[in-house]
Amino acid sequence: MPSSPIRKLAPLAREAKKQGVKVYHLNIGQPDLPTPPKALEALKHVDRTTLEYSPSEGYASLREKLTGYYKRYGIDITPDEIIVTCGGSEAILLGLLTCLDPGDEIIMVEPGYANYISFAKTARITVKTVTARIEDGFALPPVDAFEKAITPRTKAILLCNPSNPTGYVYTAEELQQIKEIVVKHDLFLFSDEVYREFVYNGKPYLSAMSLGIPEHVVMIDSVSKRYSECGIRIGMLVTHNKEVHDTVMKFCQARLSPPLLGQIVAEASIEGTQDYAKACFDEYKARRDFFIKGLNEIPGVYSPMPEGAFYTVASLPVADAEDFCRWLLTDFRLDGETVMMAPAAGFYSTPGLGKNQVRMAYVLKIEDLAKALKVLRAALEAYNK
């Protein structure tokens, strides 16, 4: 089991804070925006006397409301096709355990969400990666690369759209390419769509559920990011594939039920929160515009313009971004402040890739992002002296 590349530097950050240093956290996707007030309010009205097990598949009322939410995105499903999980994390793990045998292979795009690798390891699945390049703005790797990665043991492709860590949003043409590969080789397509809400290119979001290959698609979802409620651990696994659904349910029955209180909060978050969602969207979009522009103004720094989520992977004018990130925490301070970032190498499987890159999340207020940029600029100057 590998250590989390995001959490590896955490002890150094704690140490810096102990010394009184202010640390700007660009390293983790913990949104600072508030949870919808009506969702918090729902907690005050829990009028149960016993906090009992919920159904293994999650409350019907929550799944019912989710179908309404998905309809807004052109995703047509029934409550019976939704399984509520303990965060998107559990949905991924159970999906992998269900669809792949040990030794089977799954193809992922690198740089990718590092914990996918952990879940694949847990399920004893082999991960093959195809590389998205910063020069291409982290677009989908060419079909050739997928074809080359496919072996008789390949059972699935996993796509995160919009992508964590790059913020890339796959185009309709790219998804069409993926669909063709999936059908040609009879694969499962795991589609992690937890950042669906945050697409800044003005185009309607295209879900893998809308590709017309219902038996192939397992959609991973979560309320964590869209309602700023990561802590409640409510995710979903959604599929039209009945056999997959029924097998995932066996795993779900073994673990009894998803978190009850989280379901209450999630259910209260879905309806009547359009204004909230709009405000969050506008805020993230403004931050993105500000932050990416600021990054690219620092000499030697390059970040593509991410069209979704709230991350970017940028290249820095340093040979070893991990050393630089470490040094930021241990040695560098500008007026008592420093910046924490996630070295991007941890998001690649191929050794040596991404060594000069970092992943950053713009989940801070614009004035803090401005200060973080100032610190980063000064730090790069000092480090390279």
Contact residues: its own copies, CB under 8 A: 1-4, 7, 28, 30-35, 39-40, 43-44, 46, 48-54, 56, 86-87, 89-90, 93, 97, 102, 115, 118-119, 122, 124, 228-233, 247, 250-251, 253-262, 265
Instruction: Give the C-alpha distances (Å, rounded to integers) separating 153 from 100, 102, 250, 318.
Output: 9, 10, 24, 39
- Tokens representing 345 are 């190498």
CB of 97 or CB of 106, closer to its own copies: 97
Gap between the Cα atoms of 153 and 64, Å rounded: 37
Tell me the closest approach of the beta carbon of residue 97 to its own copies, in angstroms.
6
Residues 110 and 140 sit within 8 Å (Cβ to Cβ): no
The least CB distance from residue 65 to its own copies, in Å, is 18
Q: Which is nearer to its own copies, 332 or 347 (CB)?
A: 347
Sheet of strand 311-315, all strands in order from the earlier edge strand to the far edge: 311-315, 357-361, 342-343
Which residues, in sequence order, are bridge partners of residue 58? none
Q: Give me the least distance between CB of 75 and its own copies, in Å please.
A: 25
Name the residue nearer to its own copies (CB basis): 1 or 367. 1
**In terms of CB distance, is 14 or 293 closer to its own copies?**
14
Least Å from the CB of residue 259 to its own copies: 4
Torsion sign across C-alpha atoms 376, 377, 382, 383: positive
Contact between residue 197 and residue 225 where contact means Cβ atoms under 8 Å apart: yes
User: Shortest gap between Cβ of 80 and its own copies (angstroms)?
Assistant: 13
Integer CA distances (angstroms), 114 to 93, 314, 343, 352, 367, in order: 13, 17, 11, 16, 29
Cβ closest to its own copies, residue 98 vs residue 338? 98
Query: In the complex, what is the shortest distance from the CB of residue 135 to its own copies, in angstroms, rounded to a whole number?
Result: 30
Which residue number, 142 or 231, has a Cβ lying nearer to its own copies? 231
Distance CA 67, CA 82 (A): 8
Nearest CB to its own copies, comparing residues 113 and 205: 113
Read off the tokens for 284.
């993230």
338 beta partners: 23
Rama region for 183: left / alpha / beta (φ>0; ψ in -120 to 50; rest):
alpha
Distance CA 227, CA 33 (A): 8
| Least Å from the CB of residue 367 to its own copies | 18
